Amino acid sequence: MLNAGALLPENFSPRDGVASSSPSQPRADAVILRAMRRGDYGYDAPIGLVIFGTLALVSAVLATATWPKPPSAISAGYAVFFLANTASFWFTTRRGKFAEWDRILDRLDLRGDERVLDKGCGRGAVLVAVARRLTTGRATGIDIWNTADQSGNAKEVTLRNAELEGVAERIDVETGDMRALPFPDATFDLVVSSLAIHNIHPNAERRKAIAEAFRVLKPGGHIVIADIRAVSTYADVLRTLGATSLERRRLGWRFWWGNPVAATKLLTAAKARV
């Protein structure tokens, strides 16, 4: 059953698939590394930011042009609304998503030796955050490098960001379709994805992407997906495939794409041990 009341349990640990006796806390080294972010991760869905900004500007111009007639107040209200949406969108893509993913990954309490897959890794924001928490493990990112989904999206940019962040030796980057992953069954301890799977159309194709994530997951492994739509569809697929510990909820204002209607949802699930 889905539980909308928790992001991840405070004492959740994928090491054994159950909650531990004490809440996990962000490690000091993770806090230090977060303060040292050096890569450039672009803008998610840049057209959205342009649309909100343009609407704010047009509304402001109309408010000025019709002042002091009554329509100016309506236009001014729209200007404020769209400006707030623009600010929220900008904050999420440049700051908020990093804070939320740091929180999510800290609660996973990784050992450091895991193999991790990031589906739709883009310029590497989550991929790098995962790699920072690994020691002998490896993080693999896969993408088709669509610049409509993220500005400047390219394999070379992702590798450069990994180099700037000092984690290049723990990262592999592949070009490929998340609906047909080029990896054997049961390869990864953890599969993550951030704001990527919804870009696939229609839902039948998204289902393939989720099924592939489950296929390459090791028994006892975990899936963590943050997305803005179709999350209930992802959950249905995972439930059908036999996933356990399914949890789904809306994330906070740091992960809003303009307003609460466009809030990011988080889905977590596990694959039963054999």
Q: What is the pLDDT of residue 29?
A: 43
pLDDT of residue 30: 42
| Pair 21, 55: CB distance under 8 Å | no
144: helix, strand or coil:
coil
Quick one: DSSP state of residue 95?
Answer: I
Of the candidates 236, 226, 230, the residue with the CA atom closest to the CA atom of residue 266: 226
Token pair, residue 174, equals 């592949």
Element containing residue 115 per DSSP (H, E): strand 115-119
Cβ proximity of 235 and 241 under 8 Å: no
Residue 9 in 3-state DSSP? coil
Q: Which two tokens stand for residue 1?
A: 């059953």
* Residue for token pair 């490896």: 138
CA dihedral 54, 56, 58, 61 (to 10 degrees): -140
Task: Indicate whether 35 pLDDT > 60.
Answer: no
Stretch among 9-18, 123-132, 222-231 having the lowest mean pLDDT = 9-18
Higher pLDDT, residue 149 or 53: 53
Q: Give the pTM.
A: 0.83
Within 13 Å of residue 191, how many CA atoms lie on the same side as its CB? 31
If one compares 82 and 33, the residue with the highest pLDDT of the two is 82
Q: Which helix (H) or strand (E) holds 141?
A: strand 138-143
Q: Where are the alpha helices (DSSP H) in the chain?
A: 28-34, 46-66, 71-91, 97-108, 125-132, 155-164, 203-215, 231-240
Kindly list the structural domains of the chain, giving each domain's residue range(s) and its CATH number in brackets, ordered by start: 111-270 (3.40.50.150)
